[in-house]
Amino acid sequence: MYTLREREDLLAGQGPSGPHPDALCKLPRDGAGKGIPTVALPEMRSGGIGIVLSTIMSRVQVPHGALSDGMRTQAAAHAIGQSHLHYYKALERQGEVTFIRTAHDLQQVAAAWPSRGPDSPIGLILSMESADPILGPDDVEFWFEAGLRSVSLTHFGINTWGHGTGTKGGLYACAYPLLEALQAAGIALDVTHAADIAFWQLLEAWDGPLHASHCNCRSLVPGQRHLSDEMIKALADRGGVIGVVFAEPMLNPDWNFDDPASFSASTAQRSMTAVVDHIDHICQLTGSIEHVALGTDLDGGFGREWAPTDYDTIADLQRFLSILERRGYGPADRDAIAHGNLLRFMGDVLPKGSP
Amino acid sequence: MKGRLIVDSHLDLGFSALQVNRDLMQPAATIRTHDPMDVLDNFGSCTVSLPELRRGKVGIVCATVMSRLDPTDRATRTGMYAQSQTHGVGRGHLAYYQALDRLGQVEMLHTRRQLDNAEHRWREAEIPADGSGPPIGVVLSMESADPILDPDQVPEWHAAGLRMVSLSHYGTSTYSHGTATEGGLLPPAGPLLKALAAAGIIIDVTHLTDEAHWELLSCYDGPICASHHNCRALTPGQRQLTNDMILSIAERGGVIGAAFDAWMLDPAWRRDLRPGDQQTAATLQTVVEHIDHIAQLTGTSQHCGIGTDLDGGFGAEQAPRDLNTIADLPNLVPLLHEKGFSSQDVDGILAGNWLRLLRDHWRDPT
């Protein structure tokens, strides 16, 4: 039994202003405070997390306040992005991870899972959060060759390509040639962090595979960071899969990413059952188990303080699966959420590859 | 005005752009308005950017990949827990230079022909007051060899343009003890040095401990230099070169780049005080004294060069007090003449000696 998760950034904190990453160290087992890391390779292995989408994450944004990790130029965002890529490649050289570039690679990693050893490499599908590191349509080939298989155009604020979380607006004109190049390369489009206007523009302009790597439901938690019911249905109609997020700000209805006044410094109050509510909602709305997966974001700039109250490290995702079963999801449904849906989705996205 | 070409053998442009988060395509005055207070506190007032380099006719620079093992580092944001992380950060610096190359802001120099062309282009260039002009020639160097994961990876780095490597930086790297520690080379240094020598990459002895310096010289017979290093006879401390070390580098045909950091120029500089809370007595004249010391000791100016380190984690507050930005480097010229250096000597110190060393050891693909 393994879990396919989206959006695991082993390098979170390696950016310009973050704390030191602990990815290869044992996680601290005591102490409480902001930013206590919960995601590292040993915990991923003991939690049965065998395949992840792991990001290139850098954006063009004048650094300010809590968003102090934006870069001033696309050249710098590109370079930070490459530093993430080469960190993963160094891990691959050391046998810690293995890049999944083709459907064949994906099948191989999935097939080897039942006989895995304690040191087996974790399968990594390269993704990108904010497309600023792509210098232009003619840079797409470089990134595809590097293994990139899923891209969100925006992140927080306004970037090179359009409007993202916390802003109101659509795509910029330069986004359309980029979308064409991404689609031609066979890269999936991740609509996470698109502003509402941009979301619908993306759906109109894009014919290729679509998903939301880490998004919850707006009908449960307000704000455009989350997917409205119409958006969920539109994604489901296009065969998309939505990864649910394990973060207090995305589970607590008092939070709203559109309204900084709602930001609370308080620690998490919700347990992992709050995540199941979002899964329930997506399944009820789409009438299907096929459009939901895990996209925890548990190393996305926060630590244990904003993770669910009954969660300590990423290894606890196995306990989450038990919670799903207690909430009435049978083994087949549980497996679809844990890995089946994303395996299906990514299997369709990835180029076939040689056997 | 034409002015003289200057070669700077040590700048941390990638670190400045990615970890300090400066847009190096802007003039220093603009960057100073961008920098938030915490950046000013940690890294000082910006003195180095591409327009400033062009205004100073600093047309060719050795620009670093800089990341090291150092879990205690909280200041430079480049000290890491694992070598895989230093590799990631280092490749980011390389990718930044490649992105600037794509924009026509710099030219990565891989071959002797490219080096010759960059020298010719810059020697002929008029200095524009607005900081526009030809791309800056970038020779890729590395400060602490941690980003090289193993000897097998040396050819990959060489193909990316790497031409100069120091084994250590502050603290202890994978390969050697470095500044502020006591100890020599570490076992992985042997195979790495072999691979670097085979690739024709110059070893930079800057930031080695005394013990590691002498150990390196005894076990390695390839080309060496000291990219940013001053004289211990004038400024005490392990960070500077003893007279014997200077002679040992000169004997191997090496070049020593004069560093423009008040800590390395001014014996009264206090590291326990913040740069903004003190004022150094060091001036460009102090730098000239270090250059002259090396010339007197070795009997020639051929081992003297410029390796400012002016964006190495400090700013104008910790630089010679008569320097505002790196565009002020040409003010060295009259001071060097006053010291008795001939016009030919001055050209060698500012550019020719480094270009000679690079040329002597670069192997172009046939």
Q: Are A244 and A275 in contact (CB under 8 A)?
A: yes
**Domain CATH code at residue A128:** 3.20.20.140
Distances (CA, A) of B142 to B48, B97, B345: 18, 13, 28
- Nearest chain A Cα distance for residue B332, angstroms: 32
> Does residue A354 belong to any structural domain of this protein?
no
**Residue A55: inside a domain:** yes
pLDDT (0 to 100) of residue A341:
98
Q: Is residue B227 part of a domain?
A: yes
In sequence order, the 6+-apart residues with CB closer than 8 A to the CB of A327 are A273, A276, A280
Contact flag A25-B81 (C-beta cutoff 8 Å): yes
What's at A13, amino acid-wise? Answer: G
Q: Is A287 domain-assigned?
A: yes
A104, two tokens = 């064949």
Residue with the two structure tokens 């270090």? B290
pLDDT in tens, B241-277: 999 999 999 999 999 999 999 999 999 999 999 999 9
Pick the closest to residue B306 from B238, B320, B318, B317 (CA basis): B320
Domain membership flag for residue A355? no
Query: Does B366 fall in a domain?
Result: no
* Residue A2 reports pLDDT greater than 70: no
Angle at A94 (CA atoms; ends B92, B89), nearest 5 degrees: 15
A40 touches chain B (CB under 8 A): no
**What is the average pLDDT across B138-156?**
98
Q: Does B1 reside within a domain?
A: no
Q: How far apart are alpha carbons B281 and B287 in whole angstroms?
A: 12
Domain region containing B230: 6-361
How remote is the C-alpha of B314 from its chain's centroid?
A: 14
SS3 A137: helix
Residue of B364 and A298 predicted with greater confidence: A298
CA angle B119, B120, B122 (to 5 degrees): 65
Mean pLDDT of chain B: 96
pLDDT above 50 (res A31): no
Cβ <8 Å between A21 and B81: yes
CATH classification of the domain holding B181? 3.20.20.140
Domain count, chain A: 1
- Count of the separate structural domains present in chain B: 1
Average pLDDT value for residue range B91-102 = 98
Between the alpha carbon of residue B80 and those of residues A199, A331, B10, B117, B172, the distances in Å are 38, 42, 22, 38, 12
For β-strands B58-66 and B6-11, DSSP reports them as: parallel
Task: Give the structural domain span for A322.
Answer: 3-349
pLDDT score of A134: 98
Q: Identify whether A93 is part of a domain.
A: yes
- Residue B271 maps to a domain: yes
ipTM surpasses cut 0.85:
yes
**Euclidean distance between CA atoms B252 and B248, whole angstroms:** 7
Alpha-carbon distance B240 to B213, whole Å?
12
In a domain, B284, yes or no: yes
Please report the pLDDT score of residue B264 as a whole number: 98
B285 lies in a domain? yes
User: Rounded distance, CA A52 to CA A126, Å?
Assistant: 8
* A24–B83 CB contact, under 8 Å: no
Q: Where are the alpha helices (DSSP H) in chain B?
A: 13-18, 28-34, 37-43, 50-55, 83-102, 112-124, 154-159, 189-199, 210-219, 243-251, 262-265, 284-298, 332-338, 343-347, 353-361
The label of the residue with tokens 């006044």 reads: A261
Cα–Cα distance measured from residue A246 to residue A308, given in angstroms and rounded to the nearest whole number: 7
Test A75 with B89 for CB contact under 8 angstroms: no
A284 band by pLDDT with thresholds 50, 70 and 90 = very high
Nearest CA in chain B to A91: B84
Residue in A71, A84, A135 nearest the CB of B88: A84
CA distance, residue A287 to nearest chain B CA (Å)? 44
Q: Does B75 touch chain A (CB under 8 A)?
A: no
